[in-house]
Chains A and B, each alone.
Chain A
Amino acid sequence: MRSGIFAGLLLATVSAAAAFAQGGPIKLANVAELSGGGATVGTNWKNGIDLAIEEINAKGGVLGRKLEVTHADSQSNPGVARAQVQKALDNEPYVLLGPGYSGSVKVTSPLAAEAGIAQIMGGEAAELTQGGNKFLFRTSFGQQSSMPKVAKYINDELKAKSVAIVWVNNDFGKGGRDVITKEFAKYNIKVAADISTEAGQADFAADVSKIKAAAPDAVFVYVNEEESARMLKELKRQAITVPLMGETTLVGQKVVELAGDAANGARGHVGLTTDAPVDLVKAFREKFLKKYNYVPDHNGLKGYLAIYMIKATTEKMGKVDAKAFADTLHGLTIKAASEPGILMDVTFDEKGDIDRQGFLVEIVDGKQVVKQVLPKLN
Protein backbone atom coordinates (compact mmCIF):
# COMPACT_ATOMS: atom_id res chain seq x y z
CA MET A 1 0.00 0.00 0.00
CA ARG A 2 2.66 2.42 1.10
CA SER A 3 4.75 1.54 -1.92
CA GLY A 4 1.70 2.30 -4.07
CA ILE A 5 1.49 5.81 -2.63
CA PHE A 6 5.21 6.20 -3.06
CA ALA A 7 4.99 5.09 -6.70
CA GLY A 8 2.13 7.52 -7.24
CA LEU A 9 4.16 10.35 -5.78
CA LEU A 10 7.14 9.39 -7.90
CA LEU A 11 5.00 9.32 -11.03
CA ALA A 12 3.57 12.73 -10.17
CA THR A 13 7.07 14.14 -9.67
CA VAL A 14 8.34 12.66 -12.92
CA SER A 15 5.38 13.91 -14.96
CA ALA A 16 5.66 17.34 -13.34
CA ALA A 17 9.33 17.42 -14.26
CA ALA A 18 8.48 16.39 -17.81
CA ALA A 19 5.84 19.10 -18.05
CA PHE A 20 8.35 21.64 -16.80
CA ALA A 21 10.90 20.47 -19.36
CA GLN A 22 8.37 21.06 -22.14
CA GLY A 23 8.38 24.78 -21.51
CA GLY A 24 12.03 25.21 -20.50
CA PRO A 25 14.89 26.08 -22.81
CA ILE A 26 16.15 23.58 -25.38
CA LYS A 27 19.54 22.39 -24.17
CA LEU A 28 22.42 22.01 -26.60
CA ALA A 29 25.94 20.90 -25.74
CA ASN A 30 29.04 22.02 -27.59
CA VAL A 31 32.42 20.33 -27.20
CA ALA A 32 35.11 22.11 -29.20
CA GLU A 33 38.82 22.89 -29.43
CA LEU A 34 38.87 26.03 -27.28
CA SER A 35 42.53 25.63 -26.31
CA GLY A 36 45.54 23.81 -27.73
CA GLY A 37 46.44 23.37 -31.39
CA GLY A 38 42.88 23.75 -32.65
CA ALA A 39 41.99 26.87 -30.67
CA THR A 40 41.29 28.95 -33.81
CA VAL A 41 38.98 26.28 -35.18
CA GLY A 42 37.08 25.80 -31.94
CA THR A 43 36.80 29.48 -31.07
CA ASN A 44 35.39 30.40 -34.48
CA TRP A 45 32.96 27.50 -34.25
CA LYS A 46 31.87 28.56 -30.74
CA ASN A 47 31.42 32.20 -31.74
CA GLY A 48 29.32 31.18 -34.75
CA ILE A 49 27.11 29.12 -32.45
CA ASP A 50 26.70 31.94 -29.92
CA LEU A 51 25.84 34.44 -32.65
CA ALA A 52 23.14 32.20 -34.14
CA ILE A 53 21.62 31.42 -30.74
CA GLU A 54 21.54 35.09 -29.81
CA GLU A 55 19.69 35.88 -33.05
CA ILE A 56 17.20 33.06 -32.69
CA ASN A 57 16.46 33.78 -29.03
CA ALA A 58 15.97 37.48 -29.81
CA LYS A 59 13.23 36.43 -32.20
CA GLY A 60 11.49 34.20 -29.67
CA GLY A 61 13.43 30.95 -29.97
CA VAL A 62 12.46 27.70 -31.67
CA LEU A 63 8.79 26.68 -31.36
CA GLY A 64 8.53 29.28 -28.63
CA ARG A 65 11.41 27.84 -26.58
CA LYS A 66 14.78 29.48 -26.10
CA LEU A 67 18.00 27.75 -27.06
CA GLU A 68 20.66 27.27 -24.42
CA VAL A 69 24.16 25.97 -25.05
CA THR A 70 27.00 24.80 -22.82
CA HIS A 71 30.54 25.02 -24.17
CA ALA A 72 33.23 22.55 -23.13
CA ASP A 73 36.88 22.64 -24.08
CA SER A 74 38.44 19.50 -25.58
CA GLN A 75 41.98 21.01 -25.38
CA SER A 76 42.32 19.65 -28.96
CA ASN A 77 42.96 16.24 -27.38
CA PRO A 78 40.77 13.26 -28.35
CA GLY A 79 41.01 11.77 -24.84
CA VAL A 80 39.70 14.98 -23.27
CA ALA A 81 37.09 15.32 -26.03
CA ARG A 82 35.76 11.90 -25.12
CA ALA A 83 35.45 12.85 -21.45
CA GLN A 84 33.66 16.10 -22.27
CA VAL A 85 31.27 14.48 -24.74
CA GLN A 86 30.50 11.83 -22.15
CA LYS A 87 29.75 14.56 -19.65
CA ALA A 88 27.58 16.40 -22.16
CA LEU A 89 25.66 13.23 -23.06
CA ASP A 90 25.09 12.37 -19.39
CA ASN A 91 23.09 15.62 -19.23
CA GLU A 92 20.96 14.49 -22.20
CA PRO A 93 21.24 17.43 -24.58
CA TYR A 94 18.86 17.83 -27.51
CA VAL A 95 21.73 17.85 -30.00
CA LEU A 96 25.50 17.56 -29.58
CA LEU A 97 27.65 20.14 -31.39
CA GLY A 98 31.30 19.60 -32.36
CA PRO A 99 34.11 18.72 -32.14
CA GLY A 100 35.99 20.17 -35.08
CA TYR A 101 39.03 17.91 -35.27
CA SER A 102 38.35 14.72 -37.18
CA GLY A 103 40.21 12.57 -34.63
CA SER A 104 38.04 13.92 -31.83
CA VAL A 105 34.94 13.28 -33.93
CA LYS A 106 36.04 9.69 -34.47
CA VAL A 107 36.44 9.03 -30.75
CA THR A 108 33.16 10.71 -29.76
CA SER A 109 30.70 9.75 -32.51
CA PRO A 110 30.13 6.17 -31.26
CA LEU A 111 29.14 7.63 -27.86
CA ALA A 112 26.55 9.98 -29.37
CA ALA A 113 25.21 7.19 -31.59
CA GLU A 114 24.89 4.90 -28.59
CA ALA A 115 22.97 7.58 -26.72
CA GLY A 116 20.79 8.15 -29.80
CA ILE A 117 21.63 11.85 -29.91
CA ALA A 118 22.38 13.65 -33.18
CA GLN A 119 25.89 15.10 -33.48
CA ILE A 120 26.53 18.05 -35.77
CA MET A 121 30.26 18.45 -36.21
CA GLY A 122 32.96 20.33 -38.06
CA GLY A 123 35.31 17.52 -39.13
CA GLU A 124 36.06 17.20 -42.84
CA ALA A 125 37.88 13.86 -43.07
CA ALA A 126 36.30 11.66 -45.72
CA GLU A 127 35.91 8.53 -43.62
CA LEU A 128 33.81 10.11 -40.84
CA THR A 129 30.47 9.63 -42.57
CA GLN A 130 31.35 6.32 -44.19
CA GLY A 131 31.02 4.08 -41.15
CA GLY A 132 27.22 3.92 -41.24
CA ASN A 133 26.71 6.21 -38.23
CA LYS A 134 23.06 7.35 -38.36
CA PHE A 135 23.51 10.27 -35.97
CA LEU A 136 26.47 12.16 -37.42
CA PHE A 137 26.06 15.27 -39.61
CA ARG A 138 28.53 17.50 -41.39
CA THR A 139 28.35 21.27 -41.68
CA SER A 140 30.68 21.49 -44.68
CA PHE A 141 31.79 19.40 -47.63
CA GLY A 142 33.77 16.34 -46.69
CA GLN A 143 37.02 15.96 -48.56
CA GLN A 144 35.46 13.15 -50.60
CA SER A 145 33.18 15.71 -52.26
CA SER A 146 35.50 18.74 -52.50
CA MET A 147 38.70 17.10 -53.75
CA PRO A 148 37.21 15.53 -56.91
CA LYS A 149 36.12 19.03 -57.97
CA VAL A 150 39.63 20.36 -57.46
CA ALA A 151 41.19 17.46 -59.37
CA LYS A 152 38.72 17.92 -62.23
CA TYR A 153 39.57 21.61 -62.46
CA ILE A 154 43.31 20.89 -62.49
CA ASN A 155 42.80 18.36 -65.28
CA ASP A 156 40.19 20.17 -67.43
CA GLU A 157 41.08 23.83 -67.00
CA LEU A 158 44.75 23.90 -66.04
CA LYS A 159 45.55 20.83 -68.19
CA ALA A 160 48.34 19.92 -65.78
CA LYS A 161 50.08 16.59 -66.25
CA SER A 162 52.22 16.73 -63.13
CA VAL A 163 51.38 18.38 -59.83
CA ALA A 164 53.33 19.07 -56.65
CA ILE A 165 51.25 18.53 -53.49
CA VAL A 166 52.03 20.51 -50.34
CA TRP A 167 50.04 19.45 -47.29
CA VAL A 168 50.04 20.00 -43.56
CA ASN A 169 50.71 16.85 -41.60
CA ASN A 170 47.62 16.62 -39.43
CA ASP A 171 44.35 14.77 -39.99
CA PHE A 172 42.97 17.63 -42.07
CA GLY A 173 45.94 17.93 -44.43
CA LYS A 174 46.71 14.24 -44.67
CA GLY A 175 43.06 13.44 -45.39
CA GLY A 176 42.92 15.92 -48.26
CA ARG A 177 46.23 14.78 -49.64
CA ASP A 178 45.17 11.13 -49.67
CA VAL A 179 41.85 11.83 -51.43
CA ILE A 180 43.35 14.08 -54.10
CA THR A 181 46.22 11.68 -54.79
CA LYS A 182 43.62 9.04 -55.65
CA GLU A 183 41.74 11.51 -57.85
CA PHE A 184 44.96 12.44 -59.69
CA ALA A 185 45.55 8.77 -60.40
CA LYS A 186 42.18 8.63 -62.20
CA TYR A 187 43.26 11.43 -64.55
CA ASN A 188 46.78 10.02 -64.92
CA ILE A 189 48.20 13.15 -63.36
CA LYS A 190 51.67 12.53 -61.96
CA VAL A 191 52.50 13.66 -58.42
CA ALA A 192 55.82 15.42 -59.05
CA ALA A 193 56.52 16.15 -55.41
CA ASP A 194 54.72 15.10 -52.24
CA ILE A 195 55.68 17.56 -49.53
CA SER A 196 54.54 17.29 -45.94
CA THR A 197 54.78 20.39 -43.72
CA GLU A 198 54.15 21.08 -40.04
CA ALA A 199 51.28 23.04 -38.55
CA GLY A 200 52.69 26.42 -37.53
CA GLN A 201 55.72 26.06 -39.81
CA ALA A 202 57.41 29.42 -40.37
CA ASP A 203 59.91 28.80 -43.15
CA PHE A 204 59.00 27.15 -46.44
CA ALA A 205 62.23 27.88 -48.33
CA ALA A 206 63.35 24.25 -48.41
CA ASP A 207 59.92 23.00 -49.44
CA VAL A 208 59.65 25.48 -52.26
CA SER A 209 63.14 24.53 -53.48
CA LYS A 210 61.91 20.97 -53.76
CA ILE A 211 58.93 22.13 -55.82
CA LYS A 212 61.26 24.11 -58.04
CA ALA A 213 63.46 21.08 -58.57
CA ALA A 214 60.44 18.92 -59.46
CA ALA A 215 59.22 21.48 -62.04
CA PRO A 216 55.51 20.57 -61.94
CA ASP A 217 52.75 22.00 -64.18
CA ALA A 218 50.79 23.13 -61.12
CA VAL A 219 51.07 23.21 -57.32
CA PHE A 220 48.30 22.06 -55.00
CA VAL A 221 48.58 23.71 -51.58
CA TYR A 222 46.58 22.28 -48.69
CA VAL A 223 47.75 23.91 -45.45
CA ASN A 224 46.05 26.26 -42.95
CA GLU A 225 45.59 29.99 -43.57
CA GLU A 226 48.71 31.43 -41.91
CA GLU A 227 50.93 28.79 -43.47
CA SER A 228 49.25 29.33 -46.84
CA ALA A 229 50.26 32.99 -46.71
CA ARG A 230 53.89 32.14 -45.86
CA MET A 231 53.94 29.51 -48.59
CA LEU A 232 52.61 31.94 -51.18
CA LYS A 233 55.24 34.52 -50.26
CA GLU A 234 58.01 31.96 -50.59
CA LEU A 235 56.66 30.71 -53.93
CA LYS A 236 56.76 34.26 -55.22
CA ARG A 237 60.24 34.88 -53.82
CA GLN A 238 61.60 31.82 -55.59
CA ALA A 239 59.74 32.92 -58.75
CA ILE A 240 57.53 29.89 -59.26
CA THR A 241 55.00 30.91 -61.88
CA VAL A 242 52.95 27.75 -62.49
CA PRO A 243 49.28 27.89 -61.42
CA LEU A 244 48.65 27.51 -57.68
CA MET A 245 45.53 25.61 -56.71
CA GLY A 246 44.07 25.00 -53.30
CA GLU A 247 40.96 24.83 -51.18
CA THR A 248 39.19 27.23 -48.82
CA THR A 249 42.37 27.71 -46.82
CA LEU A 250 44.45 29.02 -49.76
CA VAL A 251 42.16 31.77 -51.00
CA GLY A 252 40.55 33.15 -47.85
CA GLN A 253 40.51 36.84 -46.93
CA LYS A 254 43.01 36.25 -44.15
CA VAL A 255 45.53 34.77 -46.61
CA VAL A 256 45.14 37.79 -48.88
CA GLU A 257 45.73 40.15 -45.96
CA LEU A 258 48.83 38.28 -44.82
CA ALA A 259 50.38 37.47 -48.18
CA GLY A 260 49.60 40.73 -49.99
CA ASP A 261 50.68 40.68 -53.64
CA ALA A 262 51.95 37.12 -53.38
CA ALA A 263 48.35 35.88 -53.13
CA ASN A 264 47.46 37.12 -56.61
CA GLY A 265 46.80 34.29 -59.01
CA ALA A 266 46.08 31.69 -56.34
CA ARG A 267 43.00 29.67 -57.16
CA GLY A 268 40.87 27.42 -55.07
CA HIS A 269 37.65 25.53 -54.57
CA VAL A 270 35.63 27.07 -51.77
CA GLY A 271 32.68 25.45 -50.07
CA LEU A 272 32.05 27.91 -47.29
CA THR A 273 33.62 31.33 -47.30
CA THR A 274 32.65 34.67 -45.89
CA ASP A 275 33.70 36.08 -49.28
CA ALA A 276 31.01 34.14 -51.15
CA PRO A 277 29.02 36.32 -53.58
CA VAL A 278 25.81 35.63 -51.69
CA ASP A 279 23.95 38.46 -49.94
CA LEU A 280 23.02 36.42 -46.88
CA VAL A 281 26.65 35.39 -46.38
CA LYS A 282 27.77 39.02 -46.66
CA ALA A 283 25.18 40.00 -44.05
CA PHE A 284 26.42 37.22 -41.76
CA ARG A 285 29.97 38.48 -42.14
CA GLU A 286 28.93 41.99 -41.10
CA LYS A 287 27.04 40.71 -38.05
CA PHE A 288 29.95 38.56 -36.99
CA LEU A 289 32.45 41.35 -37.49
CA LYS A 290 30.29 43.70 -35.43
CA LYS A 291 29.96 41.28 -32.51
CA TYR A 292 33.48 39.87 -32.37
CA ASN A 293 35.59 42.46 -34.18
CA TYR A 294 37.21 40.06 -36.62
CA VAL A 295 36.29 38.28 -39.87
CA PRO A 296 35.55 34.60 -39.18
CA ASP A 297 36.98 31.71 -41.17
CA HIS A 298 34.80 28.87 -42.45
CA ASN A 299 34.60 27.39 -38.94
CA GLY A 300 32.64 30.42 -37.79
CA LEU A 301 30.18 29.80 -40.62
CA LYS A 302 29.96 26.13 -39.74
CA GLY A 303 29.02 26.82 -36.11
CA TYR A 304 26.42 29.34 -37.23
CA LEU A 305 24.91 26.91 -39.73
CA ALA A 306 24.81 24.08 -37.20
CA ILE A 307 22.35 26.06 -35.06
CA TYR A 308 20.15 26.93 -38.02
CA MET A 309 20.16 23.25 -39.03
CA ILE A 310 18.73 22.51 -35.60
CA LYS A 311 16.13 25.25 -35.93
CA ALA A 312 14.97 24.14 -39.39
CA THR A 313 14.84 20.46 -38.45
CA THR A 314 12.91 21.11 -35.25
CA GLU A 315 10.40 23.34 -37.01
CA LYS A 316 9.97 20.69 -39.67
CA MET A 317 9.15 18.11 -36.95
CA GLY A 318 6.91 20.60 -35.17
CA LYS A 319 8.18 19.35 -31.82
CA VAL A 320 11.38 19.01 -29.83
CA ASP A 321 12.13 15.33 -30.18
CA ALA A 322 15.77 14.25 -29.77
CA LYS A 323 15.03 10.72 -30.92
CA ALA A 324 13.41 11.72 -34.21
CA PHE A 325 15.89 14.53 -34.95
CA ALA A 326 18.45 12.49 -36.92
CA ASP A 327 15.77 10.75 -39.00
CA THR A 328 14.20 14.08 -39.92
CA LEU A 329 17.49 15.70 -40.91
CA HIS A 330 18.42 12.82 -43.23
CA GLY A 331 17.18 13.70 -46.68
CA LEU A 332 16.05 17.17 -45.58
CA THR A 333 16.47 20.14 -47.89
CA ILE A 334 16.66 23.53 -46.19
CA LYS A 335 16.06 26.50 -48.45
CA ALA A 336 17.59 29.88 -47.71
CA ALA A 337 14.36 31.51 -48.95
CA SER A 338 12.38 30.09 -46.05
CA GLU A 339 15.20 29.91 -43.49
CA PRO A 340 17.62 32.78 -44.18
CA GLY A 341 19.96 31.61 -41.40
CA ILE A 342 21.03 28.62 -43.49
CA LEU A 343 22.60 31.17 -45.92
CA MET A 344 22.64 28.81 -48.94
CA ASP A 345 20.27 26.02 -49.96
CA VAL A 346 21.47 22.74 -48.56
CA THR A 347 20.46 19.07 -48.63
CA PHE A 348 21.55 16.33 -46.21
CA ASP A 349 21.84 12.80 -47.52
CA GLU A 350 21.41 9.50 -45.71
CA LYS A 351 25.03 9.48 -44.53
CA GLY A 352 24.89 12.97 -43.05
CA ASP A 353 26.93 14.46 -45.91
CA ILE A 354 25.86 17.76 -47.41
CA ASP A 355 25.06 18.98 -50.88
CA ARG A 356 25.41 22.71 -51.47
CA GLN A 357 26.75 25.00 -54.14
CA GLY A 358 30.47 25.66 -54.22
CA PHE A 359 32.75 28.18 -55.89
CA LEU A 360 35.94 28.22 -57.85
CA VAL A 361 37.69 31.45 -57.10
CA GLU A 362 40.89 33.23 -58.02
CA ILE A 363 42.68 36.06 -56.26
CA VAL A 364 42.91 39.04 -58.60
CA ASP A 365 44.46 42.28 -57.33
CA GLY A 366 43.99 41.21 -53.73
CA LYS A 367 40.30 40.38 -54.21
CA GLN A 368 38.55 37.04 -54.33
CA VAL A 369 36.90 36.73 -57.75
CA VAL A 370 34.44 33.91 -58.37
CA LYS A 371 35.39 32.27 -61.66
CA GLN A 372 32.86 29.52 -61.63
CA VAL A 373 29.85 28.59 -59.50
CA LEU A 374 29.61 24.85 -58.99
CA PRO A 375 25.89 24.25 -58.61
CA LYS A 376 24.21 22.09 -56.02
CA LEU A 377 23.89 18.56 -57.39
CA ASN A 378 20.26 17.85 -56.47
Chain B
Amino acid sequence: MADLKDIKADVVVDARGTYCPGPLMELIKEMRQQPVGAVIEVISGDAGSAKDVPEWLKKVNQEFLGVLEENNYWRIFTKKTKEM
Protein backbone atom coordinates (compact mmCIF):
# COMPACT_ATOMS: atom_id res chain seq x y z
CA MET B 1 0.00 0.00 0.00
CA ALA B 2 1.26 3.47 -0.84
CA ASP B 3 2.26 5.72 2.03
CA LEU B 4 -0.86 7.51 3.24
CA LYS B 5 0.91 10.85 2.99
CA ASP B 6 1.35 10.31 -0.74
CA ILE B 7 -2.27 9.52 -1.44
CA LYS B 8 -4.16 12.15 -3.42
CA ALA B 9 -7.84 11.62 -2.73
CA ASP B 10 -10.47 12.11 -5.42
CA VAL B 11 -12.72 13.76 -2.85
CA VAL B 12 -11.72 15.50 0.38
CA VAL B 13 -14.39 16.27 2.96
CA ASP B 14 -13.12 18.62 5.63
CA ALA B 15 -15.56 17.96 8.46
CA ARG B 16 -13.58 19.77 11.14
CA GLY B 17 -15.82 21.98 13.23
CA THR B 18 -18.94 20.81 11.47
CA TYR B 19 -20.89 18.99 14.13
CA CYS B 20 -23.93 18.12 12.09
CA PRO B 21 -24.35 15.86 10.18
CA GLY B 22 -20.85 14.68 11.16
CA PRO B 23 -17.84 12.96 9.59
CA LEU B 24 -19.25 9.43 9.23
CA MET B 25 -22.49 10.74 7.72
CA GLU B 26 -20.43 12.73 5.23
CA LEU B 27 -18.41 9.65 4.35
CA ILE B 28 -21.54 7.52 3.85
CA LYS B 29 -22.96 10.22 1.57
CA GLU B 30 -19.77 10.35 -0.52
CA MET B 31 -19.45 6.56 -0.64
CA ARG B 32 -22.90 6.41 -2.16
CA GLN B 33 -22.34 9.22 -4.64
CA GLN B 34 -18.80 8.60 -5.87
CA PRO B 35 -17.92 6.04 -8.56
CA VAL B 36 -16.24 2.72 -7.77
CA GLY B 37 -12.51 3.26 -7.41
CA ALA B 38 -12.79 6.73 -5.85
CA VAL B 39 -10.50 7.51 -2.92
CA ILE B 40 -12.30 9.58 -0.29
CA GLU B 41 -10.50 11.46 2.47
CA VAL B 42 -12.46 12.66 5.48
CA ILE B 43 -10.79 15.14 7.79
CA SER B 44 -12.27 15.00 11.27
CA GLY B 45 -11.61 16.86 14.48
CA ASP B 46 -13.35 14.08 16.38
CA ALA B 47 -11.13 11.22 17.57
CA GLY B 48 -14.16 8.92 17.57
CA SER B 49 -14.34 9.08 13.78
CA ALA B 50 -11.02 7.25 13.47
CA LYS B 51 -12.76 4.32 15.18
CA ASP B 52 -16.31 4.64 13.76
CA VAL B 53 -15.25 4.87 10.12
CA PRO B 54 -13.27 1.59 9.92
CA GLU B 55 -16.06 -0.24 11.76
CA TRP B 56 -18.67 0.91 9.26
CA LEU B 57 -16.40 0.21 6.28
CA LYS B 58 -15.92 -3.35 7.52
CA LYS B 59 -19.66 -3.80 7.88
CA VAL B 60 -20.32 -2.73 4.29
CA ASN B 61 -17.19 -4.30 2.75
CA GLN B 62 -15.53 -1.12 1.57
CA GLU B 63 -11.81 -0.46 1.88
CA PHE B 64 -10.18 1.37 4.77
CA LEU B 65 -6.82 2.69 3.62
CA GLY B 66 -5.70 4.12 6.94
CA VAL B 67 -5.68 7.15 9.18
CA LEU B 68 -3.10 9.89 9.67
CA GLU B 69 -3.13 11.65 13.00
CA GLU B 70 -2.21 15.29 12.62
CA ASN B 71 -2.25 18.12 15.15
CA ASN B 72 -5.70 17.69 16.78
CA TYR B 73 -7.32 16.27 13.69
CA TRP B 74 -7.43 12.98 11.82
CA ARG B 75 -7.17 12.33 8.06
CA ILE B 76 -9.10 9.17 7.26
CA PHE B 77 -8.54 7.53 3.87
CA THR B 78 -11.04 5.16 2.27
CA LYS B 79 -11.70 3.66 -1.12
CA LYS B 80 -14.98 2.68 -2.73
CA THR B 81 -14.41 -0.82 -4.08
CA LYS B 82 -17.94 -1.83 -5.08
CA GLU B 83 -21.37 -0.35 -5.70
CA MET B 84 -23.60 0.09 -2.70
Q: Do A and B come from one complex?
A: no
A residues in contact (CB < 8 Å) with B = none
- Which residues on B are within 8 Å of A, measured CB to CB? none
